[in-house]
């Protein structure tokens, strides 16, 4: 059930956000000799809202732009175009104080030459805690809260297991006292037995600290378990957005249908018809005309699919970009 505040303003809003990366012609190789610099259109006009206390799941295949979008929302990347609003105000650098990101690979996101005290201490200084004793007390409190021990404070990242390192990453994110957390595949690098522990911790912390999450994952069962709403991305665009239960029970966009049909199901009664997607994900340097999914779509409506980007429509409470519903 959605935890969305009934009539309140969204906490975070993306308005027609784009992130394009220039690729120098030299990097494209001699095969493309004579070509000018090109653009990777990783995110190409994405709009959605996240309400306080919600968990929004962001899904799609590798290369769909979900990690780039998460980094734009966390202000690690400047958007090429569009706007990000925080409580209805345009976001600039001050957003850092309200937003944190938890990375997929806790090892590469922690400085190997710093102790846990230093890693969390940097974040606490950013928050404005100047007094060393206060910082020490807060560091120990955060360590305990994420399930680590006070004796870990002098250890270095390589001395921890993957799950423990992710707990350090979570403690560092909490140290800023964020309102909005982008969790970018936070459990996909962990052993299955550890994944559930970290997911439970994130859920407990959401309740305790009143956090709002954008949860990026390719594991749809994790998204189903955690999210209030789901946004489905393909080649830098939103294909479908809906409340989680409705999306999983009744996916409308052909791409969402294909993604969900690929989830392994144990219950024979609940088995969906398998949909095999033809071809590979097209290059975001040279995306298809019209609907970006038309080169792989099994339900193509007609020539309009190849000619014009489908308008977004509201169908059965879902936001869908597909000519089938226009
Ligand atoms: Fe398929 Fe056309 Fe819908 Fe795209 S717009 S998903 S090609 S039916």
Q: What is the pLDDT of residues 236-268, one digit of tens each?
A: 999 999 999 999 999 999 999 999 987 766 565
Residue 109 DSSP label: T
Tens digit of pLDDT for each residue in 281-312? Answer: 898 998 999 999 999 999 988 999 999 999 99
What is the spatial distance between Cα 232 and Cα 245, in angstroms, rounded to a whole number? Answer: 14
Give residue 165 CA to ligand 1 midpoint distance, Å.
Answer: 42
Residue owning the nearest CA to atom 3 of ligand 1: 322
Task: Report the candidate in 28, 11, 143, 140 with the shortest Cα–Cα distance to residue 84.
Answer: 11
The confidence band for 269, taking pLDDT boundaries of 50, 70 and 90, is: low
- As a residue count, the chain comes to 326
Q: Which pair of structure tokens corresponds to residue 109?
A: 């996101």
| C-alpha to C-alpha distance for 61 and 78, rounded to whole angstroms | 23
Please name each of the domains of the chain with its CATH number: 2-98+178-325 (3.40.50.300)
Task: Tell me, in angstroms, the distance from the centre of ligand 1 to residue 135's CA.
Answer: 54
Q: How far is the CA of 288 from the centre of ligand 1 (A)?
A: 12
Residues above pLDDT 70, as percent of the chain: 89
Task: Please give the number of the atom of ligand 1 that sits closest to the Cα of 305.
Answer: 2
Q: Which residues line ligand 1 (CB under 6 A)?
A: 254, 291, 293-294, 297, 299-301, 305, 310, 322-324
Burial level of 92, CB count in 10 A (0-12/13-18/19+)?
exposed
Calculate how far, in angstroms, residue 294's C-alpha sits from the geometric centre of ligand 1: 5
171's CB contacts (< 8 A; 6+ apart) are 120, 142, 143, 145, 146, 148
- 319 alpha carbon to ligand 1 midpoint, in Å? 14
pLDDT in tens, 178-236: 999 999 999 988 888 899 999 999 999 999 999 999 999 988 999 999 999 999 999 99
């Amino acid at each position: 059930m959605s935890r969305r505040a009934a009539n309140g303003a969204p906490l975070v809003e993306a308005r027609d956000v784009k992130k394009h990366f220039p690729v120098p012609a030299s990097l494209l190789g001699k095969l493309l000799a004579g070509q000018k610099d090109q653009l990777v259109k990783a995110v190409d006009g994405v709009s959605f809202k996240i309400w306080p206390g919600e968990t929004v799941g962001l899904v799609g295949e590798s290369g769909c732009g979900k990690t780039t979008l998460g980094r734009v929302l966390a202000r690690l990347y400047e958007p090429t175009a569009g706007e990000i609003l925080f409580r209805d105000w345009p976001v600039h650098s001050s957003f850092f104080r309200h937003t944190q990101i938890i990375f997929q690979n806790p090892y590469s996101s922690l400085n190997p030459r710093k102790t846990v005290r230093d890693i969390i201490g940097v974040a606490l200084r950013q928050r404005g805690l100047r007094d060393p004793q206060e910082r020490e007390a807060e560091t120990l409190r955060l360590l305990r809260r994420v399930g680590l021990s006070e004796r870990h404070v002098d250890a270095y990242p390589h001395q921890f297991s993957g799950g423990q390192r992710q707990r350090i990453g979570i403690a560092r994110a909490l140290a800023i006292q964020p309102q909005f957390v982008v969790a970018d595949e936070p459990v996909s690098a962990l052993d299955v037995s550890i994944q559930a522990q970290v997911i439970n911790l994130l859920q407990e912390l959401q309740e305790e600290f009143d956090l709002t999450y954008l949860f990026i994952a390719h594991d749809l069962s994790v998204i189903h378990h955690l999210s209030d709403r789901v946004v489905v991305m393909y080649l830098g665009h939103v294909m479908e957005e809906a409340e989680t239960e409705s999306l999983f029970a009744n996916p409308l966009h052909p791409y969402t249908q294909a993604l969900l049909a690929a989830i392994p199901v144990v219950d024979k009664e609940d088995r969906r018809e398998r949909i095999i997607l033809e071809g590979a994900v097209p290059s975001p340097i040279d995306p298809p005309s019209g609907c970006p999914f038309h080169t792989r779509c099994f339900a193509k409506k007609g020539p309009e699919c190849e000619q014009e980007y489908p308008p977004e429509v509201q169908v059965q409470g879902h936001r869908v970009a597909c000519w089938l519903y226009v």
